[in-house]
């Protein structure tokens, strides 16, 4: 039988939670700082503007394209080599005061004139006006926030509220780190990043649910052990499947990342980071949060108990 994790593994996950929470918090703060001070490189989907993707017959330098386009009034050009042997380029033009629709026509005309009409092929043209850009931006943020809330509510309904909070904390953690990684590696935030982040949201909880399910099951079977012990036992028992389920998902995302082409690059990268971090957080982040709230509420209840009558507390707990 092939197995990565031996059945009687008993690693003290709960014991090492403090340094790991510190590391995770640091990574999260770093992501937030990046987001606030560096800011996302917004694609034209969100910022508005236009882009032209072209393929030349012969390899070229970005500078010679820039030189060919100097006559075109298009503001600040961003020319990106797409790595197809210097033949494919992405030319981006930010939203200007004038209407965006004319710019692409001038760009392609100028390229055709300079390099010859048969030598350059226009692969893709996109233009997004300011209203649409703002609209898409709003929808993207709303979708991620809404999905996060939904997950927290769903977990709270299916489990106890503490598990809901734990799952929500873990998932905010995962999304933040995925966003931070996108920022750090200079990926552009375009429309494809939204489904990637939402999938991270869903899949992050996926792993957390597996552990939470086992905690619930073990607590029913074993009323004597402390919650910390049960959490530890549950994580150890489910470790193998957490790693395997994420592993297969990461395998296909790797295939997408390597073979899926430039359009899906940012998408696959966000998933890669999100899935990996998601597995980590369901083991090391979600359960300690549950433990934290458990201790807080039990100690609060213990303090309160002498002063209160027994009949008052059940009503409050619901």
User: Which residues, 34 to 63, sit near another protein by CB under 8 A?
Assistant: 53, 55
Interface stretch with another protein, choices 18-26, 242-250, 294-302, 305-313 (CB under 8 A): 242-250
**CA end-to-end distance (rounded Å), the chain:** 47
By CB under 8 A, tell whether 179 contacts another protein: no
Token couple for 49: 């503007």
* Min CB(91)–another protein separation in Å: 14
Neighbouring C-alpha atoms within 13 Å toward the C-beta of 228? 8
Site string for another protein, 124-153 (x = CB under 8 A): xxxxxx-xx---x--xx-xx--xx--xx--
Q: Which of residues 197-226 bind another protein (CB under 8 A)?
A: 198-199, 201-203, 205-207, 209-210, 213-214, 217
Output phi, psi for 98, to 5 deg: -75, 170
Cα angle at 38 between 172 and 146, to 5 degrees?
Answer: 30
Contacts of 204 (CB under 8 A, 6+ apart): 167, 170, 171, 174, 175, 274, 277, 278, 281, 282
Interface stretch with another protein, choices 59-67, 89-97, 180-188, 264-272 (CB under 8 A): 264-272
Work out which of 62, 96, 245, 292 binds another protein, going by CB under 8 A.
245
Q: Which of residues 7-36 bind another protein (CB under 8 A)?
A: 7
Alpha-carbon 17 to chain mean position: 23
By CB under 8 A, tell whether 251 contacts another protein: yes
Q: How many residues bind another protein (CB under 8 A)?
A: 74
Q: Which of residues 86-125 bind another protein (CB under 8 A)?
A: 99, 101, 104-105, 121-125
Work out which of 46, 267, 269, 284 binds another protein, going by CB under 8 A.
267
Interface stretch with another protein, choices 10-18, 65-73, 243-251, 306-314 (CB under 8 A): 243-251
Exposure string for 129-162, b = 16+ CB within 10 A, e = fewer: eeeebeebbeebeeebeebbeebbeebbeebbeb
Rounded CA-CA distance 218/235 in Å is: 11
- For another protein, which is the closer residue by CB, 207 or 288? 207
* Min CB(53)–another protein separation in Å: 7
Q: Which of residues 221-240 bind another protein (CB under 8 A)?
A: 237, 240
By CB under 8 A, tell whether 176 contacts another protein: no
Residue (of 148, 265, 190, 145) closest to 40 by Cα position: 190
Rounded CA-CA distance 300/32 in Å is: 33
* Min CB(189)–another protein separation in Å: 13
Token couple for 10: 């008993």
* Min CB(253)–another protein separation in Å: 7
Work out which of 110, 114, 247, 293 binds another protein, going by CB under 8 A.
247
Rounded CA-CA distance 229/15 in Å is: 10
> Do residues 173 and 24 touch, judged by C-beta distance below 8 A?
yes
* Min CB(25)–another protein separation in Å: 24
Q: Are strands 120-128 and 49-56 parallel, antiparallel or unpaired?
A: antiparallel
* Min CB(137)–another protein separation in Å: 12
* Min CB(172)–another protein separation in Å: 14
* 123 phi-psi bin (left φ>0, alpha ψ -120 to 50, beta other): alpha
* Min CB(42)–another protein separation in Å: 15
> Do residues 36 and 65 touch, judged by C-beta distance below 8 A?
no
Q: Which of residues 276-295 bind another protein (CB under 8 A)?
A: none
């Amino acid at each position: 039988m092939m197995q990565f994790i031996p059945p009687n593994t008993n690693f003290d996950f709960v014991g090492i939670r403090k340094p790991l929470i510190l590391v995770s918090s640091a990574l999260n703060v770093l992501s937030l700082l990046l987001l606030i001070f560096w800011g996302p490189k917004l694609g034209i989907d969100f910022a508005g503007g236009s882009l032209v993707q072209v393929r030349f017959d012969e390899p070229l330098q970005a500078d010679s394209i820039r030189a060919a386009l100097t006559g075109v009034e298009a503001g600040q050009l961003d020319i990106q080599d797409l790595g197809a042997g210097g033949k494919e380029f992405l030319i981006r033009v930010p939203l200007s005061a004038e209407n965006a629709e004319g710019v692409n026509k001038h760009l392609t005309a100028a390229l055709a004139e300079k390099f010859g009409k048969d030598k350059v092929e226009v692969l893709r043209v996109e233009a997004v006006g300011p209203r649409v850009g703002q609209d898409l931006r709003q929808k993207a943020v709303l979708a991620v926030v809404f999905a996060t809330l939904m997950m927290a509510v769903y977990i709270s309904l299916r489990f106890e509220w503490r598990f809901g909070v734990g799952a929500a904390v873990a998932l905010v953690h995962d999304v933040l780190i995925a966003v931070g990684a996108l920022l750090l590696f200079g990926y552009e935030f375009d429309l494809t990043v939204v489904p990637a982040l939402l999938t991270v949201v869903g899949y992050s909880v996926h792993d957390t649910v597996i552990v939470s399910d086992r905690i619930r099951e073990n607590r029913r079977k074993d009323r004597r052990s402390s919650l910390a012990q049960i959490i530890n036992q549950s994580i150890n028992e489910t470790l193998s499947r957490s790693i395997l389920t994420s592993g297969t998902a990461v395998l296909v995302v790797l295939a997408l990342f390597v073979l899926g082409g430039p359009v899906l690059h940012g998408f696959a990268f966000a998933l890669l980071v999100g899935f990996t971090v998601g597995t980590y957080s369901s083991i090391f982040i979600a359960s300690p949060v549950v433990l934290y709230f458990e201790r807080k509420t039990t100690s609060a209840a213990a303090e309160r108990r002498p002063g209160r009558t027994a009949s008052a507390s059940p009503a409050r707990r619901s």
